[in-house]
Amino acid sequence: MEITVPHPWPGTPAEAEAIQNELRGRVEASGSVAPRTVAGLDVSYAGDGGGARTRVAAAAVVLDAATLDVVEESVAVGMSDFPYVPGLFAFRELPTLVEALRGLSATPGLLVCDGYGLAHPRRFGLACHVGIITGLPTIGIAKTAFVGAHEPPGPARGDQAPLLLDGVEVGRVLRTQDGVKPVFVSVGHRVGLDEACRLALALAPRYRLPETTRRADRLSRDRLAAA
């Protein structure tokens, strides 16, 4: 998979914020997609992941959208040099994630990030950044809230509640299984929010987290342990 990153990797938080502010206007927050394949992206960190220079493993796992069987896997190991700064977490992961994506032989129809899209202080989280870099439809499905306020969704699978930031809906709190903790879905690029929630449910038929995240998390952890 060919990827051209439209900016140099930043060395400081100020440079990183400038990149986010420059690129966020390119996000397309609408659209529908019927992908034949879906790639889950995840990154694992050595130790507690909080150091200034940390070994990371990034995984891209491509699933058949209908069966959720694994079609292809790619993993890259690298060093994360960017400091841990809330709101700039993407810059700790993107360089190695890009290498994992470049290792895929075919281009997926949808990318699913373990993180945020528009649910971000500058409306440009990891899922938005990955979407802009690749040009592909992208959504973010996070385990916990980062920004915004919300009411709890109903207890049943498919129940959802708006995630609001400054009075604007930036995501959705979605119950993927009856009686389990919800996940936090937000638009990354070229997919509307209703569509993102539909896709999240389709990718999570049995467990709280989508199969894309579960498979990519396992692969990245296993590769890091073997490094």
Tokens 């993993």 map to which residue?
Answer: 75
Token pair of 97, please? Answer: 């994630």
81 annotated to a ligand binding site: no
C-alpha torsion 5→40→192→91, nearest 10: -40
Longest dimension (CA), the chain: 46
Distance CA 203, CA 182 (A): 14
Is 42 labelled a binding residue?
A: yes
Cα 99 to chain centroid distance, Å, stands at 15
Cα 126 from Cα 93, distance rounded (Å): 9
Backbone angles phi, psi at 133, to 5 degrees: -65, -45
Which of 177, 50, 176 is CA-nearest to residue 112?
176
Q: What is the dihedral of CA 225, 219, 87, 14, to 10 degrees?
A: 70
Q: Which residues are annotated as a binding site?
A: 42, 114
Q: Which residues are annotated as a binding site for Mg(2+)?
A: 42, 114
